[in-house]
């Protein structure tokens, strides 16, 4: 799924695309009823439930802005009552999602396969559920409390999208009132129809919206992928093991960076030991109720010439010294850099200013003999918990 790069400004592009969203959606079947509520939690919980259980089909548009350039992708989407989501990109593979809930450890950003996809990582990200995601409310334990700890969520004036009345929600940071998200939820079906993400200056950095939607019972045309057939995308052999409290203590003693929290109120979900081909990185997963962050770290320096297509070098990111690479237009975002003989990879759907603050706040190793201790510490961890040795 290759993203088209357009030269239009964000304002001009939105002016061009918004009329498309006025297309009339096919009426929902009679089993869908409106639910009147003034509680944003109920709106989001219902949206999460409908996304798992409601049959629908439509055309989805992604617009992601990077370096003042919009990256645009359109795809056909079909969802069945059992929760299977099929995303068929223009000129790309058809990807089928079976899982109703996140199957990868740590949630939706924990296993992003940028190297297996088109520039920016789009196809693999959709494979892991990046169609039109919701905040953690209704999909993760304690999601509402975590969201409220950092953000103010409010129901705004009703709007119309696809000729349907929508409940609109605004999500702002508690500390400074910065607008982070606007959501449009169909009042009748309960489905999330549109999501806009904003940076710290109030500019739109990501837009995901349906251009058309059919809410009748969907019987997808054509042949669906069989469970016994090879995947439409290449798969990498890997194993993942959650690290328990004892393992965390061993890692910290050995000198690994395992922060209790990350800047911006990101709380820990879990720490995982990952085996992927020849590498054995450590993965830390955090969330703030709205966004999720995966932070990978491993010893050694990568072969920069072997980076996936679409990588661009950044001049400055989070105060880092040395090489930093990013994939502009990717959803989720990914950054790779090295420091002190260690390679880091940050994967997240959060705005770039949040991610820069996270990178700037990461502690760096200073003690003599650090990497010798790191090697011993991870070696002990693998011998204790690894299923692949």
Confidence band, pLDDT 50/70/90 cuts, at residue 32: very low
Residue 277: its H or E element = none
Do 200 and 123 share a structural domain? yes
- Predicted pLDDT at 88: 66
> CA–CA separation, 57 vs 79, rounded Å?
6
Residue 228 located in a structural domain: no
Do 258 and 183 share a structural domain? no
Here the CATH number for the domain that contains residue 15 is 2.50.20
Residue 372 located in a structural domain: yes
Do 261 and 164 share a structural domain? no
Confidence band, pLDDT 50/70/90 cuts, at residue 90: low
- Predicted pLDDT at 332: 82
Do 143 and 24 share a structural domain? yes
Residue 105 located in a structural domain: yes
158-196 confidence digits (pLDDT tens): 999 999 999 999 999 999 999 999 999 999 999 999 999
Residue 150 near residue 160 (C-beta atoms within 8 A) = no
Average pLDDT, the chain: 72
Confidence band, pLDDT 50/70/90 cuts, at residue 333: confident
Mean pLDDT within 296-303: 83
> Cis before residue 332, ω within 30 degrees of 0?
yes
Closest CA to 113 of 102, 125, 103: 125
Residue 225 located in a structural domain: no
Question: Does residue 325 or residue 373 have the better pLDDT?
Answer: 325
Do 150 and 282 share a structural domain? no
52-63 confidence digits (pLDDT tens): 888 889 998 988
- Predicted pLDDT at 198: 96
Mean pLDDT within 379-386: 44
**Sequence-separated contacts (24+) of 230-237 with Cβ below 8 Å:** 232/93, 232/94, 232/95, 232/96, 233/93, 233/95, 233/113, 233/116, 233/117, 233/123, 233/124, 233/127, 234/116, 235/116, 236/113, 236/116, 236/276, 236/277, 237/276, 237/277
Residue 315 has pLDDT above 50, yes or no: yes
Domain's final residue, options 155, 179, 214 = 214
DSSP letter string over 354-366?
Answer: HHHHHHHT-----
DSSP state of 117: S
Residue 236 has pLDDT above 70, yes or no: no
- Predicted pLDDT at 372: 54
> CA–CA separation, 241 vs 223, rounded Å?
35
Do 304 and 243 share a structural domain? yes
Residue 244 located in a structural domain: yes
Question: Does residue 15 or residue 339 have the better pLDDT?
Answer: 339
Residue that the structure tokens 């099929």 belong to: 86
- Predicted pLDDT at 165: 96
Residue 250 located in a structural domain: yes
Domain count, the chain: 2
Specify the range with the lowest mean pLDDT, choosing from 3-17, 33-47, 175-189, 305-319. 3-17
Describe the strand order of the beta sheet including 333-339 as a list of residue ranges.
Answer: 238-242, 267-276, 282-287, 292-299, 342-348, 333-339, 324-326, 312-313
Residue 277 has pLDDT above 90, yes or no: no
Do 243 and 181 share a structural domain? no
Mean pLDDT within 333-347: 86
Nearest-10 crossing angle of helices 370-385, 245-254: 160
- Predicted pLDDT at 273: 85
Do 117 and 43 share a structural domain? yes
Percentage of residues in the chain with pLDDT exceeding 70?
62
Question: Does residue 204 or residue 240 have the better pLDDT?
Answer: 204
Do 134 and 193 share a structural domain? yes
Residue 44 located in a structural domain: yes
Residue range(s) defining the domain that contains residue 337: 238-385
Residue that the structure tokens 């607008």 belong to: 179
Reduced to 3 states, what is the DSSP secondary structure of residue 13? helix
Confidence band, pLDDT 50/70/90 cuts, at residue 124: very low
Do 251 and 210 share a structural domain? no
- Predicted pLDDT at 318: 84
Do 256 and 210 share a structural domain? no
Mean pLDDT within 303-326: 84
Residue 134 near residue 47 (C-beta atoms within 8 A) = yes
- Predicted pLDDT at 18: 41
Here the CATH number for the domain that contains residue 370 is 3.30.200.100
- Predicted pLDDT at 221: 47
Do 337 and 194 share a structural domain? no
Domain's final residue, options 164, 182, 214 = 214
DSSP state of 34: -
Residue 37 located in a structural domain: yes
């Amino acid at each position: 799924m290759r993203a088209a790069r357009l030269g239009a400004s964000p304002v001009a592009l939105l002016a061009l695309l918004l009329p498309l969203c006025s297309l009339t959606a096919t009426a929902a079947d009679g089993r869908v009823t409106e639910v009147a509520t003034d509680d944003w939690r109920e709106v989001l919980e219902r949206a999460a439930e409908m996304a798992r259980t409601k049959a629908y089909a439509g055309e989805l548009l992604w617009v992601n802005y990077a370096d003042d350039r919009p990256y645009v992708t359109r795809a056909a989407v079909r969802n069945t009552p059992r929760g299977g989501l099929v995303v068929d990109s223009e000129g790309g593979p058809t990807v089928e999602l079976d899982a109703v809930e996140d199957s990868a450890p740590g949630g939706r950003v924990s296993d992003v396969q940028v190297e297996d996809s088109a520039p920016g990582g789009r196809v693999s990200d959709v494979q892991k559920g990046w169609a039109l995601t919701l905040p953690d409310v209704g999909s993760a334990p304690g999601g509402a409390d975590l969201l409220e700890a950092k953000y103010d969520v409010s129901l705004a004036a009703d709007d119309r999208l696809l000729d349907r009345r929508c409940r609109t929600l605004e999500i702002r940071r508690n500390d400074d009132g910065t607008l982070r998200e606007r959501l449009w939820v169909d009042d009748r079906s309960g489905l999330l129809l549109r999501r806009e993400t904003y940076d710290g200056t109030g500019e739109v950095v990501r837009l995901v919206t349906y251009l058309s939607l059919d809410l009748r019972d969907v019987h997808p045309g054509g042949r669906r992928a069989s469970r016994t057939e090879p995947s439409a995308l290449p798969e990498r052999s890997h194993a993942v093991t959650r690290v328990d409290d004892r393992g965390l203590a061993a890692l910290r003693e050995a000198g690994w960076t395992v922060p209790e929290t990350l800047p911006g109120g990101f709380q820990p979900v879990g720490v995982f030991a990952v085996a992927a081909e020849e590498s054995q990185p450590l993965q830390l997963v955090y969330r703030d109720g709205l966004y999720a962050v995966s932070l990978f770290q491993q010893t050694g320096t990568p072969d920069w010439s072997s980076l996936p297509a679409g990588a661009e070098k950044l001049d400055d990111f989070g105060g880092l010294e040395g090489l930093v690479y990013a994939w502009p237009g990717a959803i989720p975002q990914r950054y790779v850099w090295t420091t002190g003989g260690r390679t880091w990879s940050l994967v997240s759907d959060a705005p770039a200013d949040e991610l820069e603050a996270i990178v700037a706040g990461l502690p760096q190793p200073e003690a003599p003999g650090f990497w010798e201790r790191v090697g011993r510490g991870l070696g002990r961890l693998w011998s204790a918990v690894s299923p692949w040795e």
